[in-house]
Structures are given as structure tokens and as C-alpha cells.
Structure 1
Amino acid sequence: MTQTIALQIKNPFADQLKKGYPLISKDAVDASQLPKEEGALLRLLDSHQRFLGLGYYGIQNKGIGWMLTTDVNEKIDKAFFIRKFTKALTNRQNFFDDPNTTAFRIFNGEGDGIGGITIDYFDSYYLVSWYSAGIYLWKDMIYEALAETVNFTAIYEKKRFDLKGQYMEQDDFVMGDPGEFPIIILENGMSYAVHLNDGAMTGIFLDQRDVRLAIREHYADHRNMLNTFSYTGAFSVAAILGGAIKTTSVDVAKRSLAKTIEQFSVNNIDYESQDIKVMDVFNYFKYAQRHHLKYDLVVLDPPSFARTKERTFSTAKDYPKLLMDTITITEKNGIIVASTNNASFGMKKFKSFIDQAFKETHTRYKIVEEYSLPKDFRVPREYPEFNYLKVVFIKKLD
């Protein structure tokens, strides 16, 4: 039976939780009160011992757990998870009804009422991602609830929490009929190859769906496109199908070459007619400048943090410099798609990075449009800080 611990919440954090804030901050509690093991239920009380809600203990980023319910009578059992999953599925019915898109998020953590877990749908295959050891200890009950809620070919999982140096056998398959990968999913009519049993990544970031569509429909036609930090070339696929004259995909990971060829091939794109470069993006900028290369569509979507043999990169401190390098190889009236998934700063800060880069290069610019998370990546309406994705389409005027 799961342990339940009474935990007093400090002010003003108690007021936040009363208003529906889902994350239990590590600063909200006396650390000595915490249980020894993650996964315990937390009966949250204010300084007057009044009930605030029921959560679970699971360390994740700045939090030590997530609120599950503010109903003093609600039990955290299989029926609870079934109710949450059923509501989430109902909210995504439009996606299930769209024959041109067969991959999307069906459960987005705190946005659907259970922080620390996400569930993605890939054409009858489901992928559960776990972000803390605390919620993972509930996995048996959660998988039972999911299996009773959805029709599935197979369920896979990714453990994305800190294993603290411990070896844990990584078997991504959970239940059902194991798939033969890649499976080919559709996104707005475009095909993408997906691997659910091949390490942490699947081959596509579903949160960029709207951005890929915008590139295909409005920005790619007759453009020469550079796709930096290209991963599997998903943005390049969208550009080519949108009429791009040429694409160049650049990523330092050796796997990116085969992965990009795979994505081109499933869309019947001649990969030999496109450039795929396995090299450090910063080195490629220098290469492009030496060879006087210019692009009129550049996608700039770096990881929040990366380390190579040559350098360490963090979007929180290095994005302006990265954007300055991009500006120098972008044609006049060209479009830069500046993107980050770093949750440590908001859109206002991100725009200050953009403004800094253009001012330091003495270049005028115009923000054409902005994107954040798509509708299936639900976030609590009152707490936009959980909407981590920031994408800005910028027109270089000089």
C-alpha cells in the first residue's frame, strides 16, 4: 500500500496551491519532512493544518512533486487515472478524427492533471514518458488504467528521470504486439519515420507540428533553406514539400545522416539532391562565411544544453551569439525561424535575445509571427510558464 505523508506547505506557496498551481516547489516545504523514498502520496496542509490537496513525491527540476487533486474525498487509484485519461482523450478527439495526422500528444503532464508523465500517440502505438522516479513507481496502476482506456497495438515507454548513476535495464516495450520499426506516421499529410525502441529519441518532436506546417505552407517556396541542429531533418522535409529549391541540414551527431536520409526517403525525396552535413553548427557558420554562402530560410532550433569536444552550449547564455552568426549568412528579406524549448525563460526574455543579436549586428528586423505549444500539448491556462516552446519567425530587413 502506498505511504501517505502529511506535509505542511509554507506561505505563500500554500496560496499558490489553493489557486491550482500544480507544482510543489522544493522551497515550499521543510526538507526534513520529506519521506525517504519517492512515490509516496503527500497530504498537503497549510500553516493552520487545513487541507490543500493530495499530491505525490517525485523530484523533477525545481519541484519535489505534483498536485493530483484538491478534493479531500478523491482517492488516487486506478479509477482516478482512468478518469484523467478519458478526459484527455476527449479533448483530443479532433486529432483522432483527422486522417492527415496520426501522431500527437494525448496526455501532457500537468496540463492534463498529472505532472511528471506524458503520453504520445503514434498511429495506434502509445509512448509513455516518465519524468520522475516518483510517478514511475505508480507505473503498474497507470498502465492498467491506460490499457483499459485506449485501443492500442503496443505501448512503449521512455524513462527520462535521473537514475542517479544506477544501472537500469532499458526495455522500451511494455505491452501489446511489438512493432516493426520504423513505423510511418502522418503529420498534416507529410510522412515521418518513427522509432519507439531506439533510445531516448523517436525521430520527430511533435511539439513543432504547427511550425513545420507553417514552413511548408508559407515560407519554403523557392527558398534556399538551412536547417541547423537538424536532428532527423524534419524541418527540411517540410521545406522541400513546400517548394524549397534546396535544403542543407546540419547536425553534429553522426546518426543524423542516416536518420535524415530515412525521413527524405519515406517522402520520396531524392536525398542526394539535398545537402546533409555532419558537423558542428558553429563550425558550419564559419564554413558558410568563408565560402560566401547565403540562405533565405534558416531554422535555428538548438537543444537547451549541449556539449561537444570543442564547446559547451546553453541557450540561456549563448543564443544571442548563435543568432548573430545566423544573421550574417541570411539573405536580405530572408526568414530566420528562431526556436527554443528552454523552460527557464519566457517569450519576453527570448525576444530580448533576438533584439540584442540584431542590434549588435546593426541589422533591422521584423517579427512576422510567433508560435508556442500546439493544442494537444495542453498547459494549465492560468500558468503559461509551463508553455516552454518559443518560436519566432523573423524577417531580416537589411
Structure 2
Amino acid sequence: MFNMTRVQLRRGEEGRIKGGHPWVYRTEIETIYGTFEPGDIVTVEDHRGRFIGRGYINPASMITVRLLTYNRDEKIDKAFWRRRLAAAWDYRQRVLQGTRTDAYRIVFGEADFLPGLIVDKFGPYLVVQTLALGIDRFKDTLVEIVDELIQPAGIYERNDAPVRELEGLELRSGFLKGPFDPLVIIRENGLKFYVDLAGGQKTGYFLDQRENRAAIQPFVKGARVLDCFCHTGGFSLHAAHYGAREVLGLDISAEAIAVARRNAVLNGYGDLCFFEVANVFDALRELERREQRFDVVILDPPAFVKARRALEGAIRGYKEINLRAMKILAPGGFLVTCSCSYHMPEDLFLEVIRDAASDAHRRLRLLARRGQAPDHPVLLGYDESRYLKCLLLQVL
């Protein structure tokens, strides 16, 4: 799939890419020398013809080339894929050593120098996503290598993410090694969770919040806790596990709430955790109207801003839920507030939270700035890999 095609950049466009960013946008390309098929591996050069890197090309995508290597002499063959996957697996074995979990991300796309590839581990099973045309062409080879390296009991493909359509790829899902029951139980921080590998959001569960869920321990003992956008109860069950006296979880998805209730029973907290299907925006206003008070409020919404053009609306959404949360927090209570939107940078997120506090006539004490779990590593030079913000605040 490697050919002699050369993608030459416009003058002045090479700085970001030489600084470690793995994407070449369509607007940065001056000329393409040679012929290619979408998904082929090509060479990227600066405007003077000097080698920058090698990656796969897709002219249908705004991200036209995704770089795999900056080494002129490195061949993209089966040995290359094996080195990359083995390095990703070794990294997880190191950074997760001693943690009480059997569910984590093994490959995080570009941050593991495997653009477009996601591999998650849920107990003895793996879930694979190939989200770009170039990596999808190598799927069979990648699955074969992952199977040899990790020897999972089964592998499931979750290539039903709409982002594949932007790459001209079909949506599909199903067993790559199996079949097996896709409803599995994972372990995290001493708790157990049902995860639906076939029907859950993303690849089945939000693994990136693992350490943040554990970080609420000092604040929830004896507390009345409200968990907004609770999904299948990750934060809720951790709050109960760490000594909360009462937990209420809210989510608009009836399917997620049903799993959250099962998770509460699975861990012996069925009489402590209560879950309701609700629009969180409406529910927060209703709780304020009823003068309800909580000691801890957790806000972990879905991405409000998936594109830069949606930022203004996202700012209003983040401000609204944080303002309402502050109004129902008891004085001295704690707010755990998150954003998983890359287009909402942390400084702007903090500014939105400060504005919300001002309108709510509350003062804030910032206890911690947190991000995603280390199995979702941040690659310097590729800011898109640092997407999750989690702030722990005391509301005074």
C-alpha cells in the first residue's frame, strides 16, 4: 500500500506538523506528485521537497494525510504494526500497574502513533474501532496481531461511529473473534459494572474518567450526592462505595438508567442509589424550585461542542448547568464539573465556571484540575489528545 506518491506542503505549513501534530489538512497541501488509491501510504514533504513523514491519504477527508512515522527509513509493514501495538500494550501494563481495574484503553489513536485506531479492553474481551480509511485497510492485520499479543477471549468491532462516514466508510459492528455474550462485567476501583459492548455508548463505557471517579472519595462520605448525566452510574456507584448517605443519578437515556439500576444492585447499593430518566437542564431547574440541597453535585455531560462553530452554544450550556448546580449546593458543598469537548479549552471552561458562580452569588475554591486517565495519554504537539477537563471545586 506504500507507493512513491509525494504530498508537498505549501510554504510555511510545515511548522505544526514538524512540531508533532500528525494531521495534514487539505488546505495545507500545495501539490501531490504521483498517483494513489485512497488509503495508500504516501510521503509528506515541505515546500522544498524535504522529507517530513509518511502516512496514509484520504482525499475525501479534510484531514487528508494522517502521519504514521517521521522516520524516512521505517517501513510500514507487519513488523511496524507489531512494534506499535506492542509498545501501546507495554505502556498500559506500566502505567496501570497496581490499579484495581480490568478495563482500560489499549490503543488511543494518534497518541499511540496509530491514527484512527481505538482498542479497549473490558475484562477478557476487546473492542476495536478503525475510524479512518487508512487504518481500516489494515484492520485484519491489526486484529491478528492484537489477538496474538493479548490473547483475549473475544473481540468485538464497534465501527458504528458516524465519524467513519466522513472518511467514506460504511458503519458496521459485530464479532471479530467470538461469538460471546456482549453484556460483560468489568471491575473498577473495587466496584463491578455491567458493560454492553454491542449497544453501549462509544465502545461500551467511559474509561477515561476512572481516576476522576476515584478522586471524589474525600468529599462524599455522609453526603447527599446528585450525579447529573450519570450514564450507567459510574460516579454514582463510586459515591455510594465511598460512604455517601444518598445518591440520585439523572440521565436522559432510559437504557443507561436501566443499566445503572442493575449496577447499583450488583454492588449492593440498590437501596442507596436512585436513578431517574430526566432532562438534566429541566431537572436542575425543578430541584432549585423545590429548594432541594445537595452536598455534592457531579456534572459529566456529553460533548456540548463537537465543532468549533458550536462553541458559543456550548458555553451557554455549560454555564447553565453549572449555575443551577451551584444554586442547589449547600454552603461548603463540592462541585465536580467536567467537559469532554476538545474545542472547550480549560482556561475558557474555568472562565465559564467563574461566570456561573458570579451569577449564582457563590464563591469558588479550586481544589484540583484533572484530566483523562493515563491509558488515554496526551501527546504533546497534538492538542486534540487532551480533551477531558475535570474540575473539583468547593462552593462557598
- Would you say the 8 A contact 1:125–1:154 is kept in 2? yes
TM-aligned CA distance change 1:141 to 1:165, over 3 Å: closer
TM-aligned CA distance change 1:32 to 1:327, over 3 Å: farther
If the length of structure 2 is used for normalisation, what is the TM-score? 0.90
Partner of 1:330: 329
Question: Per-residue displacement from partner, 1:290-317 (whole Å, max 9, x unpaired)?
Answer: 221111111111111399xxxx995344
Letter in 2 for 1:363: R
TM-aligned CA distance change 1:45 to 1:104, over 3 Å: same
Partner of 1:144: 144
Partner of 1:43: 43
Distance in 2, Cα, partners of 1:5 & 1:194: 44
Partner of 2:102: 102
Partner of 2:205: 204
Q: Report the CA distance between 1:258 and its aligned residue.
A: 1.0
Partner of 2:85: 85
Equivalent positions of 1:170-209 (< 5 A) are 170-175=172-177, 177-198=178-199, 200-209=201-210
- Would you say the 8 A contact 1:251–1:278 is kept in 2? yes
- Would you say the 8 A contact 2:248–2:274 is kept in 1? yes
- Would you say the 8 A contact 1:78–1:144 is kept in 2? no
TM-aligned CA distance change 1:33 to 1:324, over 3 Å: farther
1:251 to 2:248 alignment: no
TM-aligned CA distance change 1:135 to 1:345, over 3 Å: same
Letter in 2 for 1:209: R
Question: Per-residue displacement from partner, 1:21-44 (whole Å, max 9, x unpaired)?
Answer: 222233322498898864121210
Look up the SS of the partner of 1:232 in the other structure.
coil
- Would you say the 8 A contact 1:59–1:132 is kept in 2? no
TM-aligned CA distance change 1:98 to 1:185, over 3 Å: farther
- Would you say the 8 A contact 2:155–2:176 is kept in 1? yes
1:286 to 2:285 alignment: yes
Letter in 2 for 1:218: P
Letter in 2 for 1:170: R
TM-aligned CA distance change 1:242 to 1:38, over 3 Å: farther
Distance in 2, Cα, partners of 1:12 & 1:238: 50
Q: Report the CA distance between 1:138 and its aligned residue.
A: 2.1
Partner of 2:235: 235
TM-aligned CA distance change 1:128 to 1:281, over 3 Å: same
TM-aligned CA distance change 1:244 to 1:158, over 3 Å: same
- Would you say the 8 A contact 1:193–1:203 is kept in 2? no
Distance in 2, Cα, partners of 1:98 & 1:140: 32
Distance in 1, Cα, partners of 2:133 & 2:15: 27
TM-aligned CA distance change 1:167 to 1:202, over 3 Å: closer
Distance in 2, Cα, partners of 1:364 & 1:92: 39
Unmatched 5+ stretches in structure 1: none
Distance in 1, Cα, partners of 2:40 & 2:167: 22
Equivalent positions of 1:212-361 (< 5 A) are 212-215=213-216, 217-270=217-270, 272-305=271-304, 315-361=314-360
Q: Report the CA distance between 1:382 and its aligned residue.
A: 4.2
Distance in 1, Cα, partners of 2:77 & 2:272: 55
Question: Per-residue displacement from partner, 1:136-168 (whole Å, max 9, x unpaired)?
Answer: 122122222222322211111222223269894
Distance in 2, Cα, partners of 1:264 & 1:301: 19
Partner of 1:65: 65
Look up the SS of the partner of 2:283 in the other structure.
helix
Look up the SS of the partner of 1:171 in the other structure.
strand
How many residue pairs match? The answer is 390
Partner of 2:380: 381
TM-aligned CA distance change 1:199 to 1:40, over 3 Å: farther
TM-aligned CA distance change 1:373 to 1:31, over 3 Å: farther
Query: Pairwise CA RMSD of aligned residues?
Result: 2.8
TM-aligned CA distance change 1:34 to 1:396, over 3 Å: farther
Distance in 1, Cα, partners of 2:137 & 2:313: 32
Distance in 1, Cα, partners of 2:74 & 2:38: 21
Distance in 1, Cα, partners of 2:34 & 2:192: 47
Question: Per-residue displacement from partner, 1:305-340 (whole Å, max 9, x unpaired)?
Answer: 399xxxx99534421122111111111111111101
- Would you say the 8 A contact 2:26–2:63 is kept in 1? yes
Question: Per-residue displacement from partner, 1:221-276 (whole Å, max 9, x unpaired)?
Answer: 01111111111111100000011111111111121221111211221222x54321
Provide the identity percentage. 27
TM-aligned CA distance change 1:358 to 1:169, over 3 Å: closer
Distance in 1, Cα, partners of 2:226 & 2:34: 49
Equivalent positions of 1:23-34 (< 5 A) are 23-30=23-30
Distance in 2, Cα, partners of 1:275 & 1:200: 21
Q: Report the CA distance between 1:172 and its aligned residue.
A: 2.6
Distance in 2, Cα, partners of 1:364 & 1:392: 15
Q: Report the CA distance between 1:101 and its aligned residue.
A: 1.1
TM-aligned CA distance change 1:282 to 1:146, over 3 Å: same
Distance in 1, Cα, partners of 2:170 & 2:16: 36
Look up the SS of the partner of 2:55 in the other structure.
strand
- Would you say the 8 A contact 2:6–2:34 is kept in 1? no
Letter in 2 for 1:101: T
Letter in 2 for 1:23: W
Look up the SS of the partner of 1:91 in the other structure.
helix
